[in-house]
Structure 1
Amino acid sequence: MDNTSKKRKNYNFKIGCVITVAMLLFVLVGIIWTPYPPEAVDASAKLAGSSLAHPFGCDQLGRDILSRVMSGSKITLFAAAGTVLLGGSIGVLIGAFTGYFGSVLDEVLMRIMDVMFAFPSILLSLVVIAVLGPGNYQTVLALGIAFVPSFARIVRSEFIRCREMEYVKLARLSGACDLRIMFVHILPNIRQVLLSSLMIGFNNAVLAEASLSYLGIGVQPPYASLGRMLSEAQSYIFVSPGSCIWPGLVLILMILGFSLMSDGMSVEMHERKRWKRKNVC
């Protein structure tokens, strides 16, 4: 990779960091303060345009769009974080045990993962929600289960690659138990791959949560959600464009920030591997 390409990738990572920090600050402010209660209705301000009182305007019920976007960003971010935390935790455990021990455990669990992976995450989430019913926690649980196979496969491949390395053999010779080798020796050495996977997973979780909420089976009223806001505003897009533009823009920026950061980290990991191979040779 030439220097121009490297610089471009570094710029992408920096831009991604700036966008992500800005979005996190926006969400943090929304947790502490919003101009109006997100569900407060003002019948006299239905579909009102931008003004000093309502910078983003009001929706079809007279609710302040800025307040709802701030609240919806928080809920979408927390739902995506919960999805990645749940799916990542279970996926890391499954991938670690199957990749390290192999044998029958690997065959059984990975065949289950293959069956789950064969279904799109949204479709698998719909099945779980059909059983549990719609709701905030049900959405996180459904998406978390749907995201387990992708994390499990990535972690398994890394554990298979690392389990026969010299530092692992030395740890075995020193008397370290299997659990210590797995989670003290191997897991920290795959942190960059895992972190990049978590960022990609977060992007997918944001999109998946917004999709479920858009369909009306994700986050339920009275809570705001970016996907639900887009669904409610689509009938008024020509009368009140801000009802769609603002939640859509925040959703795009959330995904863009983490995508650029993940892309920059992937390139950095690739360059480090090339540097290590050069030094070894």
Structure 2
Amino acid sequence: MDSTQVEINNQTPQTHEKQSKGLWFEALKQLFKNKAAMVGLGIIGLLILTAILAPLLAPYDPLETKILYRLKAPSAQHLLGTDDLGRDIFSRIIYGSRISLQVGLISVGIALVFGVSAGVIAGYYGGKIDMLIMRLMDIMLAFPSILLAIAIMAILGPQLSNAMLAIGIVNLPRFARIVRSSVLTVKEEEYIEAAKSLGASDLRIMLGHLLPNCLAPLIVQSTLSIAGAILEAASLSFLGLGAQPPIPEWGAMLSAGRASLQIAPWVVAFPGLAIAITVLGFNLFGDGLRDALDPKMKDK
């Protein structure tokens, strides 16, 4: 056995995994030192708790209409007032947190599964496969995301489940490009050569060695994409293409409250504030993750 082979064998996948665990621990410590990221994590945690405990926290049924109480200003009886059908806005915002989380997680999950698969295949095999996949991604990125989502919704029809699918498709190219870029770098490492020399299959190398080393940028992009997905879903619902009445989705609440904006501004103010705070929370946490997982930021 020559010296080159000995050197490759010394850099085994197991050795690299041990080094990676140490890096993840350091990144976690760095994350907890970031005050803005902790604020974002607190907002996300509060949103999750609100979604889980919605039946206990909401004082009223979010779908119950009381015409006699329509457009009531915020009071002790209705903390955030009522809408044009007399429904309690506070209760609807609480239940709307469930829909926003569902939209964010499912949409990003769709983008992750298909985007990561496309990126790994393109980066690992290269050649014509790479060119075909990435040119398709480039075509999708050439369209503004909201316009592409509207076009997809025009084909699928206005429905919340279709909105989640459309948002997932729109975000797919970002994940594909990130993973492809990481795979092109990682596949040249010595531990990948060691895995090949030990007879590992392409699928095992992609799933066991390439993907784990793409996790850092994927985690950051996923967190930021959840914020974008919630905002895009609210935009589609505002245009009447997402959640349909009487579903208590924040964007749909904004759309329904437009007619009452001048006489009852709270009808749109509080759902809009809920969207803004939620998106801010995910963005703050995503920025903190980026800073913690980026080696270039460690010295700053």
TM-score normalised to structure 1 length: 0.91
Residue 13 (1) aligns with residue 27 (2): no
Q: 2-side partners of 1:158 and 1:207: how far apart?
A: 28
Aligned AA (1:24): I
Residue 50 (1) aligns with residue 69 (2): no
Deviations 1:35-90 (A, max 9, x none): 22211110111111222321111011101101111122211221121110011110
Residue 261 (1) aligns with residue 297 (2): no
1:208 to 216, 220, 232: 232
User: How many percent identity over aligned positions?
Assistant: 38
Aligned AA (1:12): A
1:238 to 236, 254, 262: 262
Deviations 1:85-121 (A, max 9, x none): 0111100000010011111111111111110111111
Q: 2:178 matched to which residue of 1? A: 154
Q: 2:189 matched to which residue of 1? A: 165
Residue 221 (1) aligns with residue 245 (2): yes
Residue 80 (1) aligns with residue 104 (2): yes
TM-score normalised to structure 2 length: 0.85
Please say which of residues 136-145 and 235-244 is displaced more in the overlay.
235-244
RMSD, aligned α-carbons: 1.9
Please say which of residues 75-84 and 204-213 is displaced more in the overlay.
75-84
Aligned AA (1:226): W
State the Cα distance separating 1:9 from its structure 2 match: 7.4
Q: Mind listing any 5+ residue stretches in structure 1 that lack a counterpart?
A: 1-5, 276-281
Residue 182 (1) aligns with residue 206 (2): yes
1:66 to 90, 93, 101: 90
Rg bigger for which structure? Answer: 2
State the Cα distance separating 1:238 from its structure 2 match: 3.2
Q: 2:155 matched to which residue of 1? A: 131
Task: Indicate conservation of the 8 Å contact 2:81/2:266, yes or no.
Answer: yes
Deviations 1:160-208 (A, max 9, x none): 1101111111111111111111111111122111100101111110111
Q: 2-side partners of 1:54 and 1:77: how far apart?
A: 25
Matched residues, number = 270
Task: Indicate conservation of the 8 Å contact 1:9/1:267, yes or no.
Answer: no
Q: 2-side partners of 1:20 and 1:11: how far apart?
A: 14
State the Cα distance separating 1:136 from its structure 2 match: 1.3
